Structure 1
Amino acid sequence: MPHRVAELRTAREFTDPDDYWAWVAGRQRWSTPWHTVRTGGIEDARYFEGGRINVADNCVDRWAEDPATADRPAVVWEGEPGDTRTLSYAQLAREVSALAAGLLGLGVRRGDVVAIYLPNLVEAFTAIQACNRIGAVYTVLFSGFGEEAVASRLLASRAAAVVVADASYRRGKRVELLATLRAARTRAPDLRVTVVVDRTGDRAALEPGEHAYAAVLEAGRDGTPCVPLDPNDPSFLIFTSGTESRPKGVVHSVGGFLLGTWANAHWQVGYEPDDVYWVAADVGWLTFPIQAVVGGLALGMTVACYEGALDTPSNARFYEICEKHRVTKVLAAPTLIRMLRKFGLSEDHPLPALKLLTAQGEPFDTDTFDWATEAFGVPVVNAYGQTETGSTWAYPVYGVEPIKPGSVGTAVPGHGFEIVDEDGRPVPPGVKGNLVLTRPFPTLARTVWDDHARYLSTYFARFPGRYATNDEAVLDHDGHLWVLGRADDVINVAAHRISTMEIEAVVTAHPAVVEAAVVGIPDETKGTVPVAFVTLRPGTEDTGEVRAELDRRVTAEMGGYARLAAIYPTPALPKTRTGKTMRRLLRDLLVHGSPTGDTSAMEDPAALDTVRTALGPLVPERGGGAQP
């Protein structure tokens, strides 16, 4: 790929990050040119002052207007039952414009918040881009949310409108989204408009204030032009969940998110002729807007989208989708790749069209990385970013830079970082520390919705003048970055600091283990001790021998201070729909007897019950404690 080598060399030659972002800005279409690249620092940066731009214009219209790309498929969609739909860029542009006009006709205005309560449907693309077109601020609600989670986010965002499907399909069952919304919206006083997508074909009877998606399209059939927007205007907000019971609505900007996601998709996956790019994730995970709805379309790519679970109706569904749609590039969470390894079907499905597998969202153990490289026979790119950073910013550039299994490569152009100790002083290569970002960049979140003080205290108070990722990392002697996991997943055992992710890497390297989650729990003598939850391969019996071997491996490879206080085999682990293991819930089960924080992102609550059953009497009464 000599053209990418030359292009990356050019990008890395910019010594000033602002010059690099000006280069990226020059690859977008502006309605009004900007005059200043950046003002302010990392806590209050503004980009491209004086300019006006529209995300939908860059993601949809510019490709629809070009005869060479107008008929290129923009979205190739498949539902869990097997139904399919494909929209070209020209068709996508017409539907986006009609929906935008229809929303205006319903009273949705620039700056209004529109909630997108949809599964992975074509309408998720059209609704997001319709909001982009008219300057409405969208917020995607995870389609697995229940009534309380939906109500709290509608209230917190002050949503004026919501686009919802009547239902979705997940593991062969209907998930009743409209019914959930109706129960929740009584606590959302600002909500005026509901647009209902007839996903199932049941034509649900509509209540006052509800409008059929098809009728809204018809009412807006004449379309509406893109609204030129200040690149620093809010584009969308996404709620992050964590140890706090009150989720944060992180706000990203119009131009910043567009430019950053264009650059992200450009370097991480690139566009090549005849590409079909599948982001195997839920639209509720920011990765999907970054890589598919905005970044992928901004590159003019053909984006594949799948509604359901990848083990339904069989474990071969992932491979069948790749084969059917001739997918060339896939992005997935490492947990999904571990699931594919567990299924063991790669030899039966060689996937000759596949060119790239890229992963992000959680630490990627080297054992699974090596398996994926051998099983698929393509480059495997491990990337790192966060909801707050609005894109991944560290990874080996596809087709150009060297890959180290488990590493996230180096920072891509336009970004700067340090690894520092508890006092904020940089540490040398090979020493673990706190990962901080040292330079502003366009996709960095600008605030927390309705609570800027919380934004400043959460991300900038600990290390003033730098953004705290709250992750631990180490830089190796070749300059490659290794992200070890959340700083709050680093436990202190008898004065030894240990990353639970490091222990997990040792545990999952055992051939009998499919996946593992290690958490720290209180101990009267050592302060904290690590315990492991493990899922064993099908057919592996828990005779005690595997647990003994895991204990020996951890002690031999990491030292006696890392000895596992307990190992709990369980057939399932609680996960978000995006595939991230919710380790804090496991810790809560052992320490408190039940979850103490936000659980709304959990895909299958039954998984927590499965763990509870596996623990048996070790689960304490609420408020109690457990000994390993």
Structure 2
Amino acid sequence: MSSSTSQSTPDADTNDPLAQLIANPLRPLPPHWTRPGRVAELEHVRSLSGADEYWEWVANQQRWMQPWHTVRSGGISDFRYFEGGRINVADNCVDRWAEDPVTADRRAVIWEGEPGEVRTLTYAELADQVSRLAAGLLELGVRKGDVVGVYMPNLVEAFTTIHACNRIGAIYTVLFSGFGEEAVASRLQASGAAAVVVADSSYRRGKRIPLLETLRAARDRVPSVRATVVVDRTGDGVTLQEGEHAYAAVLETGAAGTPAVPLDPNEPSFLIFTSGTESTPKGVVHSVGGFLLGTWANAHWQVGHEDDDVYWVAADVGWLTFPIQAVVGGLACGMTIACFEGALDTPTTARFYEICERHRVTKVLAAPTVARMLRKFGDDLAAAHPLGLKLITMQGEPLDADTFEWTTSTFDAPVVNAYGQTETGSTWTYPVYGAEALKAGSVGTPVPGHEYAIVDDDGEPVPPGVKGNLVLTTPFPTLARTVWNDHERYVTTYFSRFPGHYATHDEAVLDHDGHLWVLGRADDVINVAAHRISTMEIEAVVTAHSAVVEAAVVGVPHDTKGTVPIAFVTLAHDALADDAQADDVLADIKRRVVAELGGYAQLDRVYVTAAMPKTRTGKIMRRLLRDLIEHGEPTGDTSAMEDATALDVVAAAVQK
């Protein structure tokens, strides 16, 4: 990396890991990474008088069907934006580019399947298919306000389905294609889905994953589902059951198309489930106009559209990042989006590089897990595939300084590290591409329209260099509007801890350069290769095993995946008759977790212990279990533990 560095932070306390971390130097952009036009535009919007004027500027970049009269009303937990206006997401992401002779033939989506097939749709072709599918869904009885499940891997049909829903005002909910039967059923039940669009199978690491088979097993428990639309991904032909319709036939039925429906920008558009710290998944609701405006701004500042760009969002459609950066935000900016179905190391470790070369990718978004994987594959492989990337942007989990340094130096491209949450609907703090200095590991400074504070447990602000609770102090359009069918849970979860503020439930610290560092969850939610999951969801599966008396699941660091789940279990006596029997039980526990939740939740290890460290009220002290794995001993207060000998029992199990 050829940029100069400046060290403006005080000398780090060599005995304080946090101080050492945030003392990383600030790096001004070298000339070949700088985009003067973006610098000027950013200076302009930062000069606007407050967040509302900024969001008015963003709104004026979109196409409205009816003008609005008020930028914002309400407080932080009951806000509304652009009252009186009417807008449609599909109209802005697809139609307006398809109707422009300059952009109609621009590639909208470049898709590659894991076996190697390639499909490309221009904006004109995408608009035609979206309109036909929307009309076909109407013929199946899907109406405005109905929930449509999208259960498929990264396919062109994920784009068309989402925008067909946007076109008619249906509410889509994306189900991660790695989900098992239980996870699919629980989310469809909670949403009351009226229809599901599903691929017959997907390909992952050379294997076929039978999605339709999983859906059929789950569907018996979801009577609300009236219609299933089946995408023949494999080309093998699908024998349809009652209530199932071939995707191609639905397109044919809707051949006449249907116009985009004008919608209130505050109506629900998108429902995504996040477990949080509780075992019952929460359906987080994002709005029509809010999600569109916020994701347009997100893609605009974090990535930026430049001539001849091909932007590869190397993420799964089931991860919120994909709808934000690709399906909605990316297309709203008129970008060309590359989309890949399978594993980035299949069939060889060169697959990532080959995709970039084949499709002339200029910008990539990925989790830090991907960069760690490429680093593991070695410098020789990278040198054999010079890519000429203009940007690598990362999000989804903490980015360590070593990975940042390797990535910037290997690809000679800026690494924009961004932070957001499912609930925020976009990333909201990062160094703006081509305009702002970088710092290894930090998430930069908030982009316009967003304000935050770092507070102690009493809600009082803490000074730079001191860790605290990260809160948001003002609303913004992409912030979640409610929890599906449970607004009280929304208010309690996000606004009760620090009244007047949105609680991220993350810890953070501000350094002396004004850069923000997000340190991780303050609860038991973990990120496994950028997929967010509650340990309690995994525990529910583990404890359901007949041989398990008690269980606790914690997340611990992993070199490639960022975090992996580890289970501690106490088994019934008859399951411990001999080592072989116990081993069979542990293998069965691992299998069940994968079968019910998906491969991303796979347990890295399972320890058998006769006791658990607990508080006097009987709560398992999971942080102590985590300490034993990471440090070999407790690092925090143990005074609340009822029986100190329990920790010795667990330690012996770990060391066995």
TM-score, normalised on structure 1?
A: 0.83
Aligned to 1:347: 382
Q: Select 2:479's aligned residue among 444, 448, 462.
A: 444
> In 1, Cα distance between the equivalents of 2:475 and 2:52?
9
> In 1, Cα distance between the equivalents of 2:219 and 2:477?
34
2:504 is the counterpart of 1:480: no
8 Å CA contact retained: 1:395, 1:408: yes
Change in CA separation of 1:163 and 1:532 when aligned onto 2, cut-off 3 Å = closer
Change in CA separation of 1:389 and 1:349 when aligned onto 2, cut-off 3 Å = farther
Q: Secondary structure of the equivalent of 1:488?
A: coil
Q: Give the letter aligned to residue 223 of structure 1.
A: G
Deviation of the 1:41 alpha carbon: 1.2
Q: Secondary structure of the equivalent of 2:214?
A: helix
2:174 is the counterpart of 1:140: yes
> In 1, Cα distance between the equivalents of 2:104 and 2:40?
29
Q: Give the letter aligned to residue 626 of structure 1.
A: V
Deviation of the 1:2 alpha carbon: 1.8
> In 2, Cα distance between the equivalents of 1:308 and 1:417?
37
Aligned to 1:297: 331
> In 2, Cα distance between the equivalents of 1:188 and 1:581?
32
> In 1, Cα distance between the equivalents of 2:335 and 2:129?
18
Aligned to 2:578: none
Aligned to 1:409: 444
Deviation of the 1:413 alpha carbon: 0.1
Change in CA separation of 1:8 and 1:219 when aligned onto 2, cut-off 3 Å = same
Structure 1 residue runs of 4+, over 6 Å off?
A: 590-595, 618-625
Aligned to 2:428: 393
2:599 is the counterpart of 1:603: yes
List alignment gaps of at least 5 residues for structure 1. Answer: 491-499, 502-518, 520-529, 536-572, 574-578
CA RMSD of aligned residues (A): 2.4
Aligned to 1:541: none
Aligned to 1:581: 563
Q: Select 2:252's aligned residue among 218, 226, 241.
A: 218
Aligned to 1:362: 397
Worse overlay, 132-141 or 180-189: 180-189
> In 2, Cα distance between the equivalents of 1:214 and 1:351?
40
List alignment gaps of at least 5 residues for structure 2. Answer: 1-34, 528-534, 536-553, 572-585, 614-619, 621-645
Deviations 1:578-607 (A, max 9, x none): x5634xx32x43799979x998655356x4
Deviation of the 1:487 alpha carbon: 1.6
Deviation of the 1:348 alpha carbon: 3.3
Deviations 1:292-341 (A, max 9, x none): 00000000000000000111101111111001001000000111111111
Change in CA separation of 1:7 and 1:467 when aligned onto 2, cut-off 3 Å = same
> In 1, Cα distance between the equivalents of 2:79 and 2:117?
45
8 Å CA contact retained: 2:388, 2:411: no
Q: Secondary structure of the equivalent of 2:420?
A: strand
8 Å CA contact retained: 1:591, 1:626: no
8 Å CA contact retained: 2:274, 2:281: yes
Deviation of the 1:15 alpha carbon: 2.6
Aligned to 1:189: 223
Aligned to 2:159: 125
Q: Secondary structure of the equivalent of 1:130?
A: helix
Aligned to 1:235: 269
2:626 is the counterpart of 1:626: no
Aligned to 1:427: 462
Identity of aligned residues (%): 71
Aligned to 1:20: 54
> In 2, Cα distance between the equivalents of 1:619 and 1:336?
38
Q: Secondary structure of the equivalent of 1:68?
A: coil
Q: Secondary structure of the equivalent of 1:163?
A: strand
Aligned to 2:549: none
Q: Give the letter aligned to residue 563 of structure 2.
A: T
> In 2, Cα distance between the equivalents of 1:387 and 1:365?
22
Q: Give the letter aligned to residue 287 of structure 2.
A: S
Q: Give the letter aligned to residue 568 of structure 2.
A: L
8 Å CA contact retained: 2:482, 2:490: yes
8 Å CA contact retained: 2:350, 2:381: no
> In 2, Cα distance between the equivalents of 1:598 and 1:320?
33
8 Å CA contact retained: 1:319, 1:349: no
> In 1, Cα distance between the equivalents of 2:610 and 2:39?
55
> In 2, Cα distance between the equivalents of 1:240 and 1:49?
28
2:7 is the counterpart of 1:11: no
8 Å CA contact retained: 1:243, 1:598: no
> In 1, Cα distance between the equivalents of 2:430 and 2:555?
31
Aligned to 1:97: 131
